[in-house]
Structure 1
Amino acid sequence: MSTTTSEPKVSTRRTYGINFGRTLNLGLSRIKYEVRGYFRQGDSVFLTFLFPVVMLTIFAVAFSEQNFGTEEEPLTAAAFYLPGMIAAGLILSGLQNMAIDIAMEKSDGTLKRLAGTPLPVMSYFIGKIGQVFVTGVLQATLVLVVASVGFGVELPNEPSKWLTFAWVFVLGVTTSAVLGIALSALPRSGKSATAVVIPIALILQFISGVYLGFSMLPDWLQNFASIFPLKWMAQGMREVFLPASFEVLEQSESWNLPGVAIATGLWLVVGLIVTRITFRWIRKDS
């Protein structure tokens, strides 16, 4: 009897290990596939990958004569807008790109075809989130290079600043990707996805301190923007790239990095829950 009861336990462990390894391997393969597909779509590359670079260039050139700091501590337009553009890139590559891309795949039958294959849903998610992470890293690097080389922005030289950048970036890009997957359930068809998702991403950028200084917004709008994750991502990036004197312009007159982590983490949990409830290979009304 002891031999009989021990055998199923060993068998279960092996099966679980094989399934996990297979799921991970398929997910890593999907990352390569998703990244290649992403860069083959000209509209996606412009609207999500190059858009922050284009906007940074426009603002840096348009306000090249304006000082965004003080006489004692001058700040160029490129340096002022840099943290917001990096944060916006997370939302564009994650939330906007994922929501539109998956809605299109539901509409054109791609997910329906994948449902008939042995591909696990988790492998599909690994591919999507991995693609956002890879393109997000490339995008942030490009923005930093353009700001530094093209407009002479001084980048931080303290390791602590780059450590903050790393965790805000990783948490932000993961949260944005998961929220994008969750938001993909909202458009009724692939054709309507752009019209539904882009205004949401655009409004978030305007109220979260990306294109306008956050302190310039009325208090009620600042409070409303604080509900959403982009405001906190931008705030974390401002801590990295802006002088310490700008800290008093934040809502609590501090960078409040614990608040950045908590608020963004909560939205990650919300995105995971909504995705778990709403994601289907095939729409219920198909």
Structure 2
Amino acid sequence: MTATTEARPPALPSTLRLGYERTRYEARLFFRERDAVIFIFAYPIIMLAIFATVFGQDDAAIEIGDTTIPFAQYFLPGMVATGVMLSSFQNLAISIAVERDEGGLKRLRATPLPPASYFVGKVGQVLVTSLVQTALLLAVAALAFDVPMPSDAQSWLTLTWVFLLGTATGAVCGVGFSSLPRSGRSASAVITPIVLVLQFISGVFFQFDQLPSWMQQIASVFPLKWMAQGMRSVFLPSEAEALETGGSWQHAATAAVLIAWLVVGLVVGVRTFRWRRRDDG
């Protein structure tokens, strides 16, 4: 009597392997959206050029004792931080809302792809695009505006952890807040003003120490202010530390606030993320 062997379906790749492949797919999809690429990549560069040119006329600069900081150098950290926020929070919050509204998430949920691999792909795409964007911004700042780059390992280490933690926080919050817009069409109208207001109160467009104290206190609740401050500790001389709250770069507080928002984003995402439109059950 011969035993019959039933054919087993091939095993799926691991969640991380699928997440890697999903990252490649998401990155290709992102770079095909020319409008989004141009806005997200060019916006920080254009804003740096505008503010450095307008405020830097007649060799004006920020004076701290005997130290002179050109405006391009002062504004660069804020532009790096806002670029990360655009690539992570704003990009994901809007794009996921659009995918949901168009039925893409509903169809994807019906496939064998694990949800974790989908989210790994989104975070991976954000990391890739943020790296490219930041590299372009630093290259333009160094070549066009003679902004000095960090010269010691400690500064590069600080840049790395602030960048990675800020990117992860922005991505997770973007996923979590993608359920806030009622439709894909309203996503930009809901998310973009939030990002714009945070830029104005977080020391991106103005010296943070010159903002009203109540505005500084509000900004201190949100991650963009801390990302910008962390980046200032990398690109500005040590004398600029006197301009910060309490006269310190507050690296521990920066890490704590970013981690806190990372946790908030995870909790909000787990509780509110939807694969279907509101009117689809």
User: Shared fold (TM-score greater than 0.5)?
Assistant: yes
Q: Distance in 2 between matches of 1:135 and 1:228?
A: 22
In 2, are the aligned partners of 1:83 and 1:238 still within 8 Å (CA)?
A: yes
- After the TM superposition, which residues 191-210 of structure 1 pair with which residues of structure 2 at under 5 Å, given as runs? 191-210=185-204
Match of 2:143 among 149, 154, 177: 149
Who is 1:277 aligned against? Answer: 271
In 2, are the aligned partners of 1:47 and 1:92 still within 8 Å (CA)?
A: no
Secondary structure, in 3 states, of the residue corresponding to 1:75? strand
Q: Distance in 2 between matches of 1:62 and 1:51?
A: 16
AA at the equivalent of 2:36: S
Q: What's the offset of the Cα at 1:159?
A: 0.6
Gaps spanning 5+ residues in structure 2: where?
A: 1-9
Q: What's the offset of the Cα at 1:165?
A: 0.5
Q: Distance in 2 between matches of 1:64 and 1:252?
A: 27
Q: What's the offset of the Cα at 1:283?
A: 3.1
In 2, are the aligned partners of 1:156 and 1:162 still within 8 Å (CA)?
A: yes
In 1, are the aligned partners of 2:64 and 2:239 still within 8 Å (CA)?
A: no
Q: What's the offset of the Cα at 1:284?
A: 4.4
Who is 2:14 aligned against? Answer: 22
Q: What's the offset of the Cα at 1:19?
A: 8.3
Who is 1:32 aligned against? Answer: 24
Q: What's the offset of the Cα at 1:244?
A: 1.1
Match of 2:81 among 83, 87, 99: 87
Match of 1:49 among 35, 38, 41: 41
Who is 1:223 aligned against? Answer: 217
- After the TM superposition, which residues 124-203 of structure 1 pair with which residues of structure 2 at under 5 Å, given as runs? 124-203=118-197
- Where do 4+ consecutive residues of structure 1 move more than 4 Å? 18-21
Q: What's the offset of the Cα at 1:140?
A: 0.7
Secondary structure, in 3 states, of the residue corresponding to 1:157? coil
Who is 2:3 aligned against? Answer: none
Who is 1:7 aligned against? Answer: none
- Map Cα deviations across residues 49-95 of structure 1 (whole Å, 9 max, x no partner): 22111111111222232212347322212101000000001110011
Indicate the percent of aligned positions where both proteins have the same amino acid: 51
AA at the equivalent of 1:49: F
Match of 2:111 among 103, 117, 134: 117
Deviates more, 1:36-45 or 1:194-203: 36-45
Who is 1:259 aligned against? Answer: 253
Q: Give the alignment's Cα RMSD to 1 decimal.
A: 1.5
Who is 1:5 aligned against? Answer: none
AA at the equivalent of 1:178: V
Q: What's the offset of the Cα at 1:112?
A: 1.1
Q: Distance in 1 between matches of 2:55 and 2:63?
A: 13
In 1, are the aligned partners of 2:103 and 2:277 still within 8 Å (CA)?
A: no
TM-score, normalization: structure 1? Answer: 0.91
Q: Distance in 1 between matches of 2:19 and 2:41?
A: 22
Deviates more, 1:217-226 or 1:276-285: 276-285
Q: What's the offset of the Cα at 1:21?
A: 5.3
In 2, are the aligned partners of 1:107 and 1:190 still within 8 Å (CA)?
A: yes
AA at the equivalent of 1:177: A
Who is 2:237 aligned against? Answer: 243
Q: Distance in 1 between matches of 2:47 and 2:13?
A: 42
1:67 matched to 2:61? The reply is yes
Q: Distance in 2 between matches of 1:267 and 1:285?
A: 30
TM-score, normalization: structure 2? Answer: 0.92
Q: Distance in 2 between matches of 1:19 and 1:188?
A: 38
